[in-house]
Amino acid sequence: MVWILTINVYLSPLIEDLKFLWDQGVEVFDAYEKVNFNLSALLFCTINDFPAYENLSGYSVKRHNVCSICEENTSYHQLKHGRKTSYIGNQRFLKCNHPYCRLKKSFNGSYEDKVAPPPLTSEAVYNRVCKVNVAFGKIQKKNIVKNIWKKKFIFFELPYWSKCDVRHCIGVMHVKKNVYDNIIDMLLNIKGKTKDAINARKNLVKMGILLELQPQPHSKWIYLPPACHTLSKFEKLSFCDCKTINTNWLTFETDNPNQPSILSIVGMGGLGKTTLAQHVYNDLKIDYAKFDIKDWVYVFYHFHVLTVTKIILEAILIKMMIVGT
Ligand SMILES: [Zn+2]
């Protein structure tokens, strides 16, 4: 809470520089044209995760009204079991003929007929924050008036900031990681992390939806019926064991023309794609499989089909000479 208010103080030197770059600019040298020119700069937008969005925009994302577009009309539901808040009714942001708008059963059991509010214009946001009193430095919590717009952020001192309609962007990287983590935790049913636990099922009973997934109490234990995403033990093992999948694909004898002849391993840097490929390559099963020859070829940064083909053919030739066939 205190940090939110002091960040304006920490950022003030940056704002001074940005104001100078916008109003006057600085003279810099263009090494290509060999001339001096005046360089101006503006802050276009910020890229951050959702908690940082609160710090940078001045909008409170901690209580129930977390959506800065819906504000006080944010549609939320306080879950009884687990005491979490769920945000519902987001189908209103879809087109009115979107199939999801008719899916009553898959959501909270009711049709969403509300219309999405228009996004706040930059002037509207400025009008909301311009009257908020900002107290710099460390102050007591009791002095802060509860308001969803908590402060006028120092970026509004930039002459153009109140004219920019998109000032804050949520980084895809953070969203992707959170969504990915939650899906994996739920698929693998990791205890303590999965969202599909007993409390979630009890909330279904409370809300009177998805009868087939509601917990069924037996004498000493409670049975949680499997959902469409529930994996068996074998499926979970297969999910984790990419090596088995790759090896089986390579060693599987079939005349099916629909089976792909190339298997791509894709993913972010550092995930272990090369390690996985190396494990499969060194697997003894590959040696006894249908291949006459196997080789490991590197593809360089400047990718060229002809060069790669030449490298592969040369590698095969060397192997054949070694084997003597
Ligand atoms: Zn909203």
pLDDT digits (tens, 9 = 90+) for 228-251: 888 888 888 777 776 666 777 777
Torsion sign, CA atoms 15, 21, 27, 32: positive
Residue 85 Cα to ligand 1 middle (Å): 14
Residue 70 Cα to ligand 1 middle (Å): 4
> Band of the pLDDT at 2, cuts 50, 70, 90?
very low
Residue 284 has pLDDT above 90, yes or no: no
Pairwise CA distance, residues 160 & 176, whole Å: 31
pLDDT for the residue 320: 82
What does the DSSP 8-state code read for residue 76?
Answer: E
Residue 145 has pLDDT above 80, yes or no: no
> Band of the pLDDT at 17, cuts 50, 70, 90?
very high
| Pairwise pLDDT comparison (63 vs 190), residue with the higher score | 190
Residue 67 Cα to ligand 1 middle (Å): 4
> Band of the pLDDT at 34, cuts 50, 70, 90?
very high
What are the DSSP E strand ranges found in the chain? 26-30, 35-39, 46-48, 76-78, 85-87, 168-170, 216-217, 222-223
Residue 68 Cα to ligand 1 middle (Å): 7
Residue 90 Cα to ligand 1 middle (Å): 7
